[in-house]
């Protein structure tokens, strides 16, 4: 048994995905097929006029994941909110992404999640397909102004006939490059074609050495790039955005897996086995290779631009560049999605206060100007205007977001980001790409594990 598979099995055996597995047992992973008729077509609920702010002391909670700059933005905004509402005290819970979904899944099951939760879009399907976990925000409009958001973004957050969260931002994937390293390899322009990527791999290896790579992608990132490639070539969504019926044949997926393998074989991407040997599970932006420019590219969410730029050392920081979307075929591949949302749990005793807090963070001038673009480019029209006026929208993020939104045309289905598929170290995507990079499987043999894993979480495979 390879190191890759034993690593995954070890994490599974030690319970790293216990919470996600428990949710699966509770029916959370069959959401897509059961909610095909539950999105945005239903009439909105009317505001609940019985909701009112409490006069006495209120102690409420909020949770989010992210990096240091996001943590600081939330905490500073909370302090400002508390100064305006002196009867309200807010206790935050926050951490980096690693392990966060498992923690929140357990909290949703136990019914002790925070009053306000930053949520991923697909959590609405995975954990509240029946509308049992999150408040319908249509009932809170006396405190939360939903008119500031585009209807399409709101519709994406409507599940089980309920507005289960409000969109914080929209996002998609784009290439970021460290042009300091590219220049050392004799390359002066960002890669714009597949041929450019392959030429960069050769130049890095010949001019800089075997330990320099144009980019590195983890397993989940590789899956997203593979789908981007296939959508570019065939012009169809990976799967139906409502029912999660797969739109690609086994042969087409093998083609996508071979595309990713070719990037490794041609020295465009670092082999996962080599990366693990040097870094274990360290995130790419925290690796010595990224910090020092030995890895010179990434395919990431547009909102992550500042995180990757700030991680570079002084010799490389000036080289950080937002690249162009690469067209691998006749179509524009890739998808945009609701980056994250803010939801109110149904266990909250302070729904009116929670809605007021969300409105402050996303719509009001003071809150939105503090939050800026730390969670991506604000989806709220009022929030975006306030953040821009305050100079709090980071140019890198704005540049990346505008390029993504102008390019992507495909839609994401709710099961693509299921934790059993994407979890770092233990997900099916990890198993598949590890097995190929460790030489245990070929794309032709590994595809069965991918399809079986997708079917297990609720995909319909043709």
pLDDT, tens only, 225-235: 999 999 999 99
Residue 44 has pLDDT above 70, yes or no: no
CA 114 to chain centre: 21
Average pLDDT over residues 49-77: 95
Structural domains counted in the chain: 2
**Pair of tokens at residue 332:** 């524009």
pLDDT band at 401 (very low <50, low <70, confident <90, very high): very high
Res. 462 pLDDT band, cuts 50 70 90: confident
Tell me: pLDDT of 22 over 70. Answer: no
Mean pLDDT, the chain, rounded, equals 91
**402 and 423 inside one domain:** no
CATH of the domain at 111: 3.40.190.10
Task: Identify whether residues 346 and 327 lie together within a single domain.
Answer: no
292 contacts: CB under 8 Å, gap ≥ 6: 313, 315, 316
Do residues 301 and 405 make contact, with C-beta atoms less than 8 angstroms apart?
Answer: no
User: Does 3 reside within a domain?
Assistant: no
Calculate mean pLDDT across residues 203-220.
97
Residue 200 included in any domain: yes
Yes or no: say if 208 and 239 are a contact pair by the CB < 8 Å rule.
no
387-419 in b/e form (b: 16+ CB < 10 A) is bbeeebbbebbbebbebbeebbebebbbbbbbb
What was the pLDDT predicted at 281? 85
Res 219: pLDDT: 96
* Same domain assignment for residues 122 and 177: no
Q: Which of 176, 137, 154 is nearest to 345 (CA)?
A: 137
Q: In the predicted model, is pLDDT for residue 27 greater than 90?
A: no
* pLDDT grade for 415, boundaries at 50, 70 and 90: very high
One domain, residues 231 and 188? yes
Question: Does the residue 201 lie in any domain?
Answer: yes
- For residue 15, tell me if it sits in a domain: no
- CB distance 342 to 362 below 8 Å: yes
Beta-carbon neighbour count of residue 145 at 10 Å? Answer: 18
Q: How far is CA 229 from CA 53, 84, 187, in A?
A: 50, 49, 23
User: By percentage, how much of the chain surpasses pLDDT 90?
Assistant: 83
Please state the rounded mean pLDDT for residues 11-40: 41
Inform me whether the pLDDT recorded for 137 exceeds 80.
yes
Same domain, 97 and 193: no
d(CA 369, CA 387): 4
CA atoms of 127 and 125, how far apart (whole Å): 6
CA–CA gap between residue 214 and residue 295 (Å, rounded): 6
The answer, yes or no, to whether residue 109 has pLDDT greater than 70, is: yes
Q: Report d(CA 242, CA 32) in Å as an integer.
A: 6
pLDDT at 41: 41
100 and 203 inside one domain = no
pLDDT at 14: 38
pLDDT, position 38: 42
Same domain membership, residue 309 and residue 179: yes
- How confident is residue 67, by pLDDT bands cut at 50, 70 and 90? confident
Q: Tell whether 107 is covered by a domain.
A: yes
Residue 167 in any domain: the answer is: yes
Together in a domain, 124 and 189: no
Q: pLDDT tens across 341-371, in order?
A: 999 999 999 999 999 999 999 999 999 999 9
> So what's the pLDDT on residue 39?
41
Q: DSSP label at 295?
A: B
Report residue 211 CA to chain centroid gap. 29
pLDDT, tens only, 251-268: 999 999 999 999 999 999
- Would you say residue 24 has pLDDT above 80? no
Question: Does residue 7 carry a pLDDT above 90?
Answer: no
Q: In terms of domains, do 92 and 194 share one?
A: no
306 and 346 assigned to the same domain: no
pLDDT-wise least confident of 200-204, 259-263, 302-306, 386-390 = 302-306
Which pLDDT does position 4 carry in this prediction? Answer: 38
Question: Does residue 325 carry a pLDDT above 60?
Answer: yes
pTM assigned to the model: 0.82
Q: Whole domain around residue 293: which residue ranges? A: 172-335+411-456
Q: What's the rounded Cα separation, in Å, for the pair 272 and 111?
A: 38
Whether 167 and 177 share a structural domain: no
Query: What token pair was written down for 231?
Result: 């959508």
Q: Residue 28 falls within a domain, yes or no? A: no
Check if the beta carbon of residue 206 is closer than 8 Å to that of residue 200: no
Residues 165-175 have a mean pLDDT of 96
Please check whether residue 78 lies inside any domain of the structure.
Answer: yes
| Residue 407, pLDDT score | 96
Q: Which residue has the tokens 């034993």?
A: 6
- Same domain flag for 293 and 368: no
Q: 118, exposed or middle or buried, with CB in 10 Å at 0-12, 13-18, 19+?
A: buried
How far apart CA 55 and CA 352 sit, in angstroms, is: 12
At residue 421, φ and ψ (nearest 5 deg) are -95, -45
């Amino acid at each position: 048994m390879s190191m890759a598979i034993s690593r995954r099995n070890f994490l599974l055996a030690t319970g790293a995905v216990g919470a996600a597995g428990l949710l699966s047992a509770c029916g959370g992973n069959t959401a897509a097929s059961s909610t095909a008729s539950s999105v945005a077509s239903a009439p909105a609920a009317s505001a609940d006029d019985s909701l009112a702010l409490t006069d006495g002391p209120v102690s409420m909670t909020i949770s989010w994941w992210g990096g240091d700059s996001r943590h600081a933005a939330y905490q500073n905004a909370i302090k400002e909110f508390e100064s305006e509402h002196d009867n309200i005290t807010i206790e935050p819970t926050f951490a980096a992404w690693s392990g966060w979904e498992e923690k929140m899944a357990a909290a949703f099951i136990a019914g002790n999640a925070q009053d306000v939760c930053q949520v991923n879009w697909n959590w609405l399907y995975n954990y509240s397909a029946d509308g049992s976990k999150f408040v319908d925000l249509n009932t809170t409009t006396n405190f939360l102004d939903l008119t500031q958001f585009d209807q399409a973004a709101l519709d994406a957050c409507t599940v089980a006939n309920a507005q289960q969260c409000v969109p914080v931002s929209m996002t998609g994937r784009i290439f970021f490059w460290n042009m300091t390293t590219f220049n050392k390899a004799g390359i002066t322009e960002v890669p714009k074609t597949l041929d450019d990527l392959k030429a960069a791999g050769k130049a890095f290896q010949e001019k800089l050495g075997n330990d320099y790579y144009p980019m590195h992608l983890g397993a989940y990132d590789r899956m997203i790039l593979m789908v981007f490639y296939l959508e570019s070539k065939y012009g169809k969504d990976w799967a139906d955005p409502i029912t999660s019926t797969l739109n690609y044949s086994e042969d087409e997926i093998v083609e996508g897996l071979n595309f990713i393998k070719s990037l490794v074989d041609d020295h465009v991407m670092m082999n996962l086995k080599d990366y693990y040997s040097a870094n274990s599970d360290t995130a790419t932006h925290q690796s010595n290779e990224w910090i020092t420019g030995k890895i010179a590219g990434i395919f990431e969410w547009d909102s992550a631009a500042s995180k990757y730029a700030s991680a570079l050392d002084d010799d490389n920081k000036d080289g950080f560049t937002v690249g162009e979307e690469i067209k691998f075929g006749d179509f524009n591949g890739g998808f945009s999605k609701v980056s994250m949302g803010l939801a109110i749990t149904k266990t909250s005793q302070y729904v009116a206060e929670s809605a007021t807090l969300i409105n402050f963070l996303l719509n009001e001038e003071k809150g939105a100007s503090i939050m800026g673009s730390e969670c991506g480019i604000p989806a709220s029209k009022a929030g975006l205007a306030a953040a821009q006026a305050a100079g709090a929208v980071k140019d890198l993020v704005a540049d990346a977001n505008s390029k993504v939104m102008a390019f992507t045309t495909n839609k994401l289905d709710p099961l693509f980001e299921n934790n059993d598929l994407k979890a770092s170290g233990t997900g099916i995507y990890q198993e598949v790409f590890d097995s190929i990079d460790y030489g245990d499987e070929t794309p032709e043999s590994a595809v069965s594990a991918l399809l079986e894993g997708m079917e297990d979480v609720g995909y319909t495979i043709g």
